[in-house]
Chain A
Amino acid sequence: MFAAVRSVLIRDLTLAMRRRADVLATLIFFVIVVSLFPFGVGPDAELLRVLGPGVIWVAALLAAMLSLGRLFAGDYSDGVLEQLLLTPQPLAALALAKVLAHWLLSGLPLVLIAPVLGLQYGLSGEALRILVITLLLGTPVLSLLGAVGAALTLGLRGGGVLLSLLVLPLYVPVLIFGAGAVDAGLSGMGVDGHYSLLAAFLLGALILAPWATAAALRISVE
């Protein structure tokens, strides 16, 4: 089983490396959305410092959304997905491998570039540290939950808009505690509770989401 998981993971990463533009597009989208907000609300440094964590988190949600459409679409159109469904290995494990590859390609780069964007918003070192930790805990949840929606909307017309309609409401808890942690940390309320809850979301999604994704794939492909 682990061999199958590993080969799916390596395959997805290799495919992405052959088409780097797709990976970069998500990252650049994230940077652009974050950079647009100062034009919208004005360059007031104090205001931007307050808005920063929330803006970066919402942009991360949208960027994750943008890349989710491609999670199963390629495999669906060239028939690989049907082969995956036919393998004796549990589909949930294979789905988890694909989600992991998705996170490595679209979640992790966001986490790594977020401190730079945070500096643009004048966040302090402590705030940046909290932001990176919450993104590290939260973005895998975005990939895991999003995979369920991506599997459900596979091959449907208007799939992209539909996907955001299905998945974004489910992202609300992650957004609340991800963006809220920075505020809580700076006001001295302690962020351990936020970390714990985000980690709890991650563990819960890690256990439940692959099964739901596998079930959704079976519904969509049959």
Chain B
Amino acid sequence: MAINWFKYSSPASFYPLAGRMIPWAMAVGVLTGVAGLYVGFFVAPTDYQQGESYRIMFIHVPAAWMSMFTYIVMAVWAVAGLIWNTRLSSMMATALAPTGAMFTFIALWTGALWGKPTWGTYWVWDARLTSELILLFLYIGFIALQASIDDPRRAARAGGLLALVGLVNVPIIYWSVKWWNTLHQGASISFAKAPTMAAEMLLALLLVTLAFWAYTIAVAMMRVRCEILESERQSNWIYETVEGLR
């Protein structure tokens, strides 16, 4: 059976689909999250160099991955909205931005907490930390721009253009920061840890990453449903689909 994907590019048919996805994504998120944290905190062996403090990695690394990945997904949706003028694509970008910003913040925060016992300082101007900080600024800029435009059509298109400009700039910023850091202080602190990782550690990392993925999907769907309700409040289908609105 061929699925007509374009059917779901209309807010009216996507709204119920998003509603059906939320409980599943949440369930997957909670189950893999609990399992991943259990493996990470109780099963995985203690690191011979860093002791127990390394275990914050099981939140830090997936959050950092998600922060970068979410930006790319968000930018792709925003650009799709800009090119094809599809409302739903822009709504997806708007819905993803706060979650991406949250994961960026979590990555920075857990990174600082992890840095204190291992490096002896909360913050170093390491290339990765600095580019993660700039990524947070990019997210905040995107959210702030959309928040200050009242006209939803203009907000969607302006956000799309900004995300596109950001997408072109992200690699330039990343390599600049990387080169700047090596120019200044050399590789005094590097993330390169023991080359091999115990299988349990890898398993925990993957499980938590999956949990963050599922969480992002669930929360983005919730937010996109709110966006749809807000922008489609004039249409009739909303009153047929959603109970208790009248």
Contacts and interface: CB of A to CB of B under 8 A. Distances in A.
A170 B162 CA distance: 11
A169 B179 contact: no
Interface in A166-197: 166, 168-170, 172-173, 176-177, 180, 183-184
Interface residues of B, number: 26
Q: Taking chain B's interface residues, is the majority helix, strand, or loop, or is none over half, making it mixed?
A: helix
A172 B174 CA distance: 10
A165 B144 contact: yes
Q: Which of B140, B164, B165 has the most CB of A within 10 A?
A: B165
Given A166-B141, A166-B145, A169-B138, A148 B165 contact: yes
A206 interface: no
Contacts of B137: 165, 168-169
Nearest to A208: B168
Nearest to A153: B145
A216 interface: yes
A148 B168 CA distance: 13
B137 to A, nearest CB: 4
A105 to B, nearest CB: 24
Interface residues of A, number: 27
Nearest to B154: A219
A152 B148 contact: no
Contacts of A158: 148
A170 B165 contact: yes
A168 B145 CA distance: 14
A184 B161 contact: no
A180 B180 contact: yes
A141 to B, nearest CB: 11
Given A152-B158, A166-B141, A216-B158, A157 B165 contact: no
Given A162-B145, A180-B183, A170 B161 contact: no
A65 B134 CA distance: 18
Given A165-B137, A212-B165, A220 B176 contact: no
B144 A220 contact: no
A173 B134 contact: no
Contacts, number: 67
B202 interface: no
B80 to A, nearest CB: 15
B242 interface: no
A200 to B, nearest CB: 9
A216 B161 contact: yes
A156 B173 contact: no
Contacts of A58: none
Most buried by B among A156, A157, A219: A219
Interface in B155-186: 157-158, 161-162, 164-166, 168-169, 172-173, 176-177, 179-180, 183
Contacts of B144: 162, 165-166
A107 B164 CA distance: 26
A172 B173 CA distance: 7
Contacts of B154: 219-220, 222
Interface of A: 148, 152-153, 156-158, 162, 165-166, 168-170, 172-173, 176-177, 180, 183-184, 201, 208, 212, 215-216, 219-220, 222
Interface of B: 134, 137-138, 140-141, 144-145, 148-149, 154, 157-158, 161-162, 164-166, 168-169, 172-173, 176-177, 179-180, 183
What 10 pairs across the A-B complex have the smallest Cβ distances?
A173-B176, A169-B137, A176-B180, A166-B141, A219-B157, A165-B141, A176-B176, A156-B148, A169-B134, A152-B158
